[in-house]
Structure 1
Amino acid sequence: MRFLDFSDQVVLVTGASSGIGAAAAVGFAEAGATVALHYNANEAGARHTVSAVNTAGGVASMHQADLADPDSAGELIDAVLAKHGRIDVLVNNAGDLVRRTAVTDVPDEEFRRILDVNLTSVFAMSRRIVPVFRAQGGGAIVNVTSIAGRNGGGGGSVLYATSKGAVSTFTRGLAKELAPDNIRVNAISPGVISTPFHDRHTGEQQLKTMLATIPMGRTGTPHECVGTILYLASDAMSSYVTGQIVEVNGGQLMP
């Protein structure tokens, strides 16, 4: 029995143009899945991910949407269903810190943007995928939260941390709500992962400070998050696992 076999399954990964989302898309393709790749602004990155999926022997499609707008979630899911006929796994990976700044300096519109990008997107996608999963007899949702949701985040990221903490709570609550429908909901909680996220938002000195708190003494890679995502998405491997937040952080946080 192949535990990580997603043959004949369609996996929708949001935020798949780079980082963890891109790595997850390739990982699912290597396990036999057809992968629907969502991106917002980084079309070149999404095309690179499609190429990587093709190299891995997989099949991929690209779909653009700004998931900070709740209405776009339904349009995205409809587009994937029109293309592939079904969706078996949803990976809610899209999100961003937006920028590091003190709470007192965050204008209202930026506060709303942070919540919309990180939390509203997860809510909207989950709300719209549930009827699809119910009609199919089940499914799996894997959310991507963050160590920041537990420890409050690094400097200037309080609101990002708040939004990710809400994603973790949403994951647990939705898992209870959907368990009778054979829909499992879990999350991966990455620590400091080498992605364009940190290239944009984390300075060299701040990164050194973070590294000093990691027992393994290094940052993680997007690839090192993929196994956990595939595990949580696999009925063969985790059919009795729901409502869990799995930490992937090199020992930085041991709850």
Structure 2
Amino acid sequence: MLNFKDSVVWVTGSSTGIGRAAARKFASLGADLVIHGLNQQDLTAELATELTALGRRVLVLDGDLTEEAVVEGFARQIDETFGRLSVLVNCVGASPAKSRLDDMPIETFDRVLAINIRTQVLATQKALPLLRRADDPAIVNISSSVTRVGGVPGGIAYTTAKGGIDSFTRALARELAPEIRVNAVAPGLVTSPFHEEDPEQKYPWVISAVPMKRVGKPEDMAGAIAFLASSEARYITGETLEVTGGMRLSF
């Protein structure tokens, strides 16, 4: 049984989808939570109420993690509330305005990289002093299986960004070892608000090739995230764990 009693976990992008499921998972395992959204106060307030009912302390943050001043302010709030941080889960990510490279405005490319890489770099940088106060601290980044299979048409910016997360994870793991463990989870196709359309209807060819024959659920990712953050993974760092229903066997 994984145990996060007396731990403080910050899950960025936890208003919906994988981040929300991860926050619930850590709370069920005894952790106090820092949850976060961007202009999603109703969703994070609802989640905070749910986690508080479990007896957990909860700090709610709302703001743009691409802005350094915002992230610095969040780190101060975590310090003032908890004084430390045990686990950082970098879950903010999006793939807006899909476009092929030949007609993609460079501003779109820059924005996708900012959402998916800059957010993780800034959150990690500002959280490091807090993580260093904890026992056995860990960072779990959210990557994607698109880095291996090349993504979907129009997703070149997102795929490039997530490739950067894989490299960031390995480089950061080397830089912080043995003090802080750093790993990543790479989801496959997952049902969540990340997708503007139902992925089962939009990507049937992907599902047909997945050995488990279904789309992943946010809860499937949450278990893997909690494992990599736990003491059960104390000798694992610099790894990216694919959670795809066996997609590697087909692609």
Match of 1:93? 91
For residues 94-123 of structure 1, the C-alpha deviation after alignment (integer angstroms, 9 at most, x for no partner) is 110112221222212211110110001111
Percent of aligned pairs sharing the same letter: 36
1:213 aligned residue (209, 230, 237): 209
Match of 1:127? 125
Match of 1:242? 237
How many residues were matched structurally?
A: 250
For residues 5-44 of structure 1, the C-alpha deviation after alignment (integer angstroms, 9 at most, x for no partner) is 1111110000000000000101111111100001112222
Q: CA RMSD in A?
A: 1.8
Deviation at 1:215, TM superposition (A): 1.4
Distance 1:106 1:155, change over 3 A: same
Residue 187 (structure 1) aligned with residue 188 (structure 2): no
For residues 219 and 29 of structure 1, the distance between their equivalents in structure 2, rounded to whole angstroms, comes to 25
Deviation at 1:209, TM superposition (A): 2.2
User: Is the contact between residue 8 and residue 33 of structure 2 (CA under 8 Å) also seen in structure 1?
Assistant: yes
1:232 aligned residue (224, 228, 232): 228
Deviation at 1:203, TM superposition (A): 6.4
Match of 1:10? 8
Equivalent position amino acid for 2:14 in 1:
A
User: Is the contact between residue 190 and residue 199 of structure 2 (CA under 8 Å) also seen in structure 1?
Assistant: no
Deviation at 1:56, TM superposition (A): 3.6
For residues 148 and 161 of structure 2, the distance between their equivalents in structure 1, rounded to whole angstroms, comes to 11
Match of 1:197? 194
Gaps of 5+ in 2: none
Deviation at 1:139, TM superposition (A): 1.4
Match of 1:106? 104
User: Is the contact between residue 66 and residue 122 of structure 2 (CA under 8 Å) also seen in structure 1?
Assistant: no
SS in 1 for 2:210: coil
2:164 aligned residue (163, 166, 171): 166
For normalisation by structure 2, the TM-score amounts to 0.93
User: Is the contact between residue 7 and residue 33 of structure 1 (CA under 8 Å) also seen in structure 2?
Assistant: yes
Deviation at 1:155, TM superposition (A): 1.5
SS in 1 for 2:122: helix
Residue pairs, 1:22-171, within 5 angstroms:
22-136=20-134, 138-171=136-169
Q: Which contiguous aligned blocks of 4+ residues in structure 1 show a shift greater than 6 angstroms?
A: none
Residue 252 (structure 1) aligned with residue 247 (structure 2): yes
Deviation at 1:52, TM superposition (A): 2.6
User: Is the contact between residue 11 and residue 19 of structure 2 (CA under 8 Å) also seen in structure 1?
Assistant: yes
Equivalent position amino acid for 1:90 in 2:
L
For residues 159-203 of structure 1, the C-alpha deviation after alignment (integer angstroms, 9 at most, x for no partner) is 1011001001100111011003x20000111000100112x1666
For residues 100 and 179 of structure 1, the distance between their equivalents in structure 2, rounded to whole angstroms, comes to 37
SS in 2 for 1:38: strand
User: Is the contact between residue 200 and residue 207 of structure 2 (CA under 8 Å) also seen in structure 1?
Assistant: no
Equivalent position amino acid for 1:51 in 2:
T
SS in 2 for 1:35: strand
User: Is the contact between residue 70 and residue 120 of structure 1 (CA under 8 Å) also seen in structure 2?
Assistant: no
Equivalent position amino acid for 1:48 in 2:
E
Deviation at 1:243, TM superposition (A): 0.5
For residues 99 and 212 of structure 1, the distance between their equivalents in structure 2, rounded to whole angstroms, comes to 26
SS in 2 for 1:197: coil
For residues 199 and 237 of structure 2, the distance between their equivalents in structure 1, rounded to whole angstroms, comes to 36
For residues 198 and 112 of structure 2, the distance between their equivalents in structure 1, rounded to whole angstroms, comes to 17
For normalisation by structure 1, the TM-score amounts to 0.92
Of the structure 1 ranges 157-166 and 62-71, higher mean CA displacement relative to structure 2 is found in 62-71
